[in-house]
Structure 1
């Protein structure tokens, strides 16, 4: 009786108390789940144009027990291998495995999938799986990133917003017997997935196209190691375009080296050179330690303790100039003086205020923090070099974000790439509003500095960035690249330009970076024209009204003209050609014909700009053809080589750095093929900083 009572209690316990749990365990023992990924949400541009979509493809799988039961293993394997292009032995191995479920091939192309479906092979089934597709190819690849075969985000926005885009996966449920073996006629249940939400970027497809078009042109023209550009709305921090070269095709990302996937605009820190002088100027003007009318004198260098900081134009110093002229000339001694006036505490306050030394928290993986000289260890020479854009390493996204604050009444905005999240039916889930971080400088300082930067474009080193019809301002930069192990390269440079337009009502700020261009490397030559083309077409696309009348531009001699090819012309003919274009000229030598010219044919200059003509005296009565010796003083090695090559001379170099002396003297007539010897000041004796236009 007692035994019966105990058994009854046990039955009640198992049936009513443990029943649900045991039933679930039995179910789990009988069924195995194979996950089926949901269709990822669409990534749209700011105007709703799709940049990343998911397309349905068929993935084929086998139930090996059913294949064996049909007793047509070899025939089935042969047909599958023929359609899918797989090895027949491999197919046979897959479809006869001792397991309940096995993938044969996923994401099968449509034509092959139709052919395989038509065979209706026993034990061979298919399921629709989403596959990521980028309809614009490489456009915005470094922003979008890519997704893998299992529909998971692996890079870019795809990985940052993976949880939002990926949705809820479905399952294929396969039944096993009590011994864990497959059942030939088992139940196979399919639970469909739930599609992910979609996101709308701040990127504008049209502006993105403009940027990438100009970067492609620069890669062909300058042959740099890499190049990149960012376009931002300074009032909101929203990024309208971001692109880097070399690029990759996200639909075929596996075919590229992983290094190409890297978005150096957010992941790499570099010494920005003279573009950073905008930050130095902003803090100094805001603190009142310098006024636009303050006077400075540039002898070509400045002493800071025992160290010497050179101006990029040491051989032809700027001499006496106002602060505004110092900005126009990108004069290093002026900015060193201003930085030292600010002092360490003030300088670092603005350095931190503009966000340097920490992440901007842009919605992309792999953002770097940059490298700052620790404040407690900073000496006067560090302050001096930081003032002109060396010693500290910043990321391009940090730099453009700081410049956007200068253009936005001093308000620093968080850079933004995503503005909306919507569900699969298009219903709004979340709006991401622009985020103010802090006010760094006053609106008055902001407007004052923008007016100064406008003169850099109209009168200074940024003339190649001048945009007819719009008021643009900006700053050039030419930075020596750091050599691994320490020191600076004398042959590789990063040319850049950072600007804003229109300066009286900023709509866009743009940073252009050209890393290690071949030949000419100054930012004013290699990056400013890219800025000009991007901003001109962007403002027209945004329907920003033209601000200056064409006739007013002519009166102000600010219209740009293309330099003609004058090589081989008589001097008189070349002079007439330049006068018609309202260009000035300097003539080197006593010859009657033009041997070479700078700038090169096809370059753009503002009206009133200067063209240097090098003349030759033809061979006569046994005397060789002679050409005037160019002035190489203050030039770097790469620039000196280019000029000497134009004139068919040889170059002998002593030392490194910039040219401080040359033989023969400039202006002398010497035979073509002769050697010019230049003496260059070693970097070990002085801080060489050719960070200029």
Structure 2
């Protein structure tokens, strides 16, 4: 083979290999395009296009009185699509972008108009379609933004242009009353379910929607379409039993006493007796900076020795078993009682050595109750503990919100049972109850022996329609005989009239309750640290109970007895509830008003129309207004109520004699005069003659007495 032929063979071989390679590549391309094309396209789309979850608006939580306790408000992330106006219409973009920059700068006040202009033009030059303008924009602000140039669809000549604004909705959870019942309202996240938000999250959350999103340069995900593919379904609403006004009263009363007593932590729960509906629940903790905040729900979660408030259970058990009566005598001696390896002492030396069981309860004698229980149940302690278990005190209440502390009411079968256990349990030690579990016991006595579980949610609604209703769950229909319950009620009332709660009684309504003081165990140190828990549990009005309440304050440093530390919270809250709940007052016709025939007090001056309405509601009549005002009529008997009507004209001196200071100042100022005041009470004289026309701004001296 010559050289020329050899070279040609090599060239043809190389060319053939190249052609074969080209054909192989072309064949592979065809295979990828027509055989594996769908598979690879799906893989590519999965990397650049995904279905993203659109969060549903969470349902609202309403209070018993219809107030919003928790709600979701929409917030928007505002983005700018710089290519919404096609490139061939640059003149339109440039014509309007300056105005948009000025509008954005004036509205948000976070950048200058020049900075916004540079941002928008730079996005246009880089063909960016998802430029961040602002986060956390409210719905009201969004509506304003939609009126700005380029941020709304518009027509220029015959051409219609779409909006350059892309808004991404997000839901923000807010509490309109900020910290009011915040722990009970709760929250829910990936780790914790707290309060109503956590317990009813499945109802509140609704059903999420879906929207197709595309990943663009920089790893940013943008909506593929302006509208969502699957619309979210908003969550259901929760109707709670909390009353906003009562909750506010409870938090203020507890917070005030916590500061006075310089305590570490405390709680108060107010509950309706018949329904078990919790109207208020407040918990506070002393933070590291000395301020009191709601950080933990002690009322439902903290199980501890209840102390003397548990004496109710001990006395009721003995009464129901027929082992004692209210007049059963007990020898308390000098206020000490020696038991194996321990001496039980009363907090104060008794005024007499022999007292009835009722008297022992009223003065909260430790010796009286431990002696009686040890004497009556010493040979058969199981009878005592079985009675406690029959009331369900050893079982959780099964609350509607999570986190309930586990109660411990042991029996002689427990390994920790000792010869001391029976007497210790008799006055509230060697057992664990949460404040709410203790309150259920007292509420049962107030409810004539019917124990009901506390209720925090009464209804679930969706779009205004009832999904589910909740009613009180009966724990025990008859916890004790009617006779035992009645005697226990009289003993609780005696505490308020004759015993440790005497200073807490109100002259306006009756109440029943029990003070409690317990020494707090400090882990391994036991009871050596002298730290106390002060408590008060009771109900009101005593003759027809509507509300029950418990107050627990732990480790107070300014006093520690239940009556002086926890008691004031009970009284203040009960007073405020009584003043605001007119159903507790009965009808005005039944009330003893002016029973002695004393004249109805002369009222202050003001609006005749408004006052007449008030008098009619109170059952009074009004008459002879002008005559009485001039002193011509002096009869102010129950047949009629005198009143001075005041008309105000600018520049004319009004007659404010008989008014209180606030009304007098208001009237004079409306007439255009400046008041100088001397004294207290109501106005008895004024320096300017009523009806006289004077220059506006003239000074008038008012004498009060």
Shared fold by TM > 0.5? yes
Q: TM-score, normalised by structure 1?
A: 0.65
Distance 1:110 1:292 in 2: 66
Name the CA shift for 1:114/1:423 in 2 (closer, same or farther; >3 Å).
Answer: closer
| CA deviation after TM superposition for structure 1 residue 257, in Å | 11
CA contact (8 A) 1:407 1:500 kept: yes
In structure 2, the residue matched to 1:384 is 423
Partners of 2:426 and 2:218 in 1: CA distance: 72
Listed as ranges, the gaps of 5+ residues in structure 1 are 1-13, 249-254, 553-693
Moved more, 30-39 or 201-210: 30-39
Distance in 2, Cα, partners of 1:352 & 1:185: 61
Residues 104 and 345 (structure 1), Cα distance of their counterparts in 2 relative to 1, 3 Å cut: farther
Q: Secondary structure at the match of 2:577?
A: helix
Shift in alpha-carbon separation, 1:193–1:456, aligned structure 2, 3 A: same
1:273 equivalent in structure 2: 307
Q: Distance in 1 between the 2:280 and 2:439 partners?
A: 12
Cα distance, 1:530 vs. partner? 1.8
Work out whether 1:141 is the aligned partner of 2:178: no
Q: CA deviation at 1:420?
A: 0.8
In structure 2, relative to structure 1, the CA distance for the partners of 1:384 and 1:186 (3 Å cut) is closer
- Looking at structure 1, the residues matched to 556 and 213 of structure 2 have their Cα atoms a distance apart, in angstroms, of 60
- For 1:36 and 1:413, how far apart are their aligned partners in 2? 42
**Pairwise CA distance, 1:60:** 3.7
Deviations 1:402-458 (A, max 9, x none): 21112222222111100011112x112211121112232223221210111101110
The partner residue of 1:108 within 134, 137, 140 is 137
The one-character-per-residue Cα deviations of 1:572-591 (angstroms, maximum 9, x if unpaired) are: xxxxxxxxxxxxxxxxxxxx
**Could you tell me which of 440, 456, 462 is aligned with 2:501?**
462
Counterpart in 1 of 2:475? 437
Whether 1:419 aligns to 2:458 is yes
The secondary structure found in structure 2 opposite 1:129 is: strand
Q: Determine the C-alpha separation between the residues in 2 that align with 1:245 and 1:45.
A: 21
**Aligned 1:478-493 pairs, distance under 5 A:** 478-493=517-532
Equivalent residue for 1:337?
A: 371
Q: Counterpart of 1:495?
A: 534
Please point out which of 45, 65, 73 is paired with 2:63: 45
Q: Structure 2: which 5+ residue stretches go unaligned?
A: 1-33, 152-162, 595-705
Normalising by structure 2, report the TM-score: 0.64
Distance 1:447 1:304, change over 3 A: same
List aligned pairs for 1:306-455, cutoff 5 A. Answer: 306-313=341-348, 315-316=349-350, 318-340=352-374, 341-342=376-377, 343-373=380-410, 375=412, 376-377=414-415, 378-424=417-463, 426-439=464-477, 440-455=479-494
Is the 1:451–1:503 Cα contact (8 Å) retained in structure 2?
A: no
Matched, 1:218 2:235: no
Distance 1:239 1:522, change over 3 A: same
1:59 maps to which of 77, 99, 106: 77
Matched, 1:36 2:70: no
The alpha-carbon deviation at position 325 of structure 1 amounts to 0.4
Q: Could you say which residue in structure 1 is the equivalent of 2:701? A: none
- Which of structures 1 and 2 has the bigger CA Rg? 2
Q: For the Cα contact (< 8 Å) 2:400–2:456, is it kept in 1?
A: yes
Q: Contact 2:183–2:294 (CA<8 Å) still a contact in 1?
A: no
Q: SS of the counterpart of 1:210?
A: helix
How far residue 182 of structure 1 moved from its aligned partner, in angstroms, is: 8.6
Give 3-state SS (helix, strand or coil) of 1:56's partner: strand
Once the 2 structures are TM-superposed, how far is the Cα of residue 529 of structure 1 from its aligned partner? 2.3
Match of 1:476 among 515, 518, 536: 515
1:192 Cα deviation from its structure 2 partner: 2.9
Query: In structure 2, what is the equivalent of residue 592 of structure 1?
Result: none
- Report if the CA contact (8 A) 1:302-1:310 is conserved: yes
Q: SS at the partner of 1:357?
A: coil
Measure how far apart 1:351 and its partner are: 2.4
Q: Which moved more, 1:384-393 or 1:129-138?
A: 129-138
Inter-partner Cα distance in structure 2 for 1:436 and 1:245: 30
How many residue pairs are counted as aligned between the two chains?
Answer: 524
